[in-house]
Amino acid sequence: MRLKSNLLILAASCMMYSCTTPTPQNPFFSEFQTPDGVPPFNEIKLEHYEPAFMQGMDEQNELIRSIVESTEAPTFENVIVALDNSSPMLDRVGGVFFNLTEAETTDDLTALYMKMAPVLSEHDDNILLNQQLFAKIKAVYEQRESLNLNTEQNRLLEKTYKRFVRSGANLPADKQERLREINKQLSTLGISFDKNILNENNSFKLFVEKKEELEGLPEWFKQSAAAEAKAAGEEGKWLFTLHNASRLPFLQYAANRNLREQLYKAYINRGNNDSANNNVKIITDIVSLRLEKGKLLGYDSYSNFVLDNTMAKNAPTVMAFLNELWNYALPKAKAEAAELQQVMDKEGKGEKLEAWDWWYYTEKLRKEKYNLEEEDIKPYFKLENVREGAFAVANKLYGITLTKLEGIPVYHPDVEVFEVKDSDGSQLGIFYVDYFPRTGKSGGAWMSNYREQQGDVRPLVCNVASFTKPIGDTPSLLTIDEVETLFHEFGHALHGLLTKCQYKGTSGTNVARDFVELPSQINEHWATEPEVLKMYAKHYKTGETIPDELIEKILKQKTFNQGFMTTELLAAAILDMNLHNLTDTEGLDVMAYEKEAMDALGLIPEIAPRYRTTYFSHIIGGYAAGYYSYLWANVLDNDAFEAFKENGIFDAKTAHLFRSHVLEKGDSDDPMTLYKNFRGAEPKQEAMLKNRGMK
Residue 273 φ/ψ region, left for φ over 0, alpha for ψ in the -120 to 50 degree band, beta for the rest: beta
577 and 663 co-located in one domain: no
Q: Which residues of the chain have pLDDT under 70?
A: 1-24
What residue type is assigned to position 144 of the chain? R
CB atoms within 10 A of CB 185: 16
Structural domain contains residue 180: no
Contact 469, 458 (CB under 8 A): no
Boundary (domain end) residue, out of 268, 288, 322: 268
Q: Which residues contact 276 (CB under 8 A, 6 or more apart)?
A: 196, 199
Boundary (domain end) residue, out of 142, 166, 190: 166
247 and 323 co-located in one domain: no
* Predicted local confidence at residue 695, as pLDDT: 82
596 and 618 co-located in one domain: yes
| Residue of 248, 259, 253, 257 whose CA lies nearest to 218 | 253
Structural domain contains residue 210: yes
404 and 541 co-located in one domain: yes
214 and 314 co-located in one domain: no
| Residue of 550, 225, 499 whose CA lies nearest to 374 | 550
66 and 143 co-located in one domain: yes
Domain, as residue range, for 296 = 278-372+559-625
CATH number of domain containing 576? 1.10.1370.10
State phi, psi for 54 to the nearest 5 degrees.
-65, -45
* Predicted local confidence at residue 14, as pLDDT: 31
Contact 650, 529 (CB under 8 A): no
Boundary (domain end) residue, out of 250, 268, 286: 268
365 and 422 co-located in one domain: no
CATH number of domain containing 7? 1.10.1370.40
* Cα–Cα distances in angstroms (integers) from residue 616 to residues 260, 262, 271, 654, 673, in the given order: 22, 21, 10, 37, 32
- In the residue annotation, 235 being an active-site residue is answered as no
Coil vs helix vs strand at 371: coil
Give the integer Cα–Cα distance in Å for 639 and 688: 7
Q: Which residues contact 458 (CB under 8 A, 6 or more apart)?
A: 36, 427, 428, 429, 430
Q: Which residues contact 447 (CB under 8 A, 6 or more apart)?
A: 3, 4, 461, 462, 463, 464, 489, 492, 493, 496, 509, 520
User: Of the residues 122, 152, 484, 489, which is catalytic?
Assistant: 489
18 and 143 co-located in one domain: yes
Structural domain contains residue 194: no
367 and 388 co-located in one domain: no
Q: How many helices (H) and strands (E) does the chain have?
A: 26, 8
Structural domain contains residue 116: yes
- Burial of residue 640 (CB within 10 Å: 0-12, 13-18, 19+) is buried
365 and 443 co-located in one domain: no
531 and 391 co-located in one domain: yes
Structural domain contains residue 174: no
Q: What is the DSSP letter of 695?
A: -
Structural domain contains residue 289: yes
Structural domain contains residue 175: no
* Predicted local confidence at residue 24, as pLDDT: 58
pTM: 0.94
Structural domain contains residue 32: yes
Distance of alpha carbon 111 from its chain centroid, rounded?
23
Contact 497, 253 (CB under 8 A): no
Domain count, the chain: 4
| Residue of 666, 513, 487, 495 whose CA lies nearest to 580 | 513
552 and 611 co-located in one domain: no
State phi, psi for 418 to the nearest 5 degrees.
-130, 145
Q: State the virtual CA torsion across 664, 670, 675, 678 in degrees, nearest 10.
A: -60
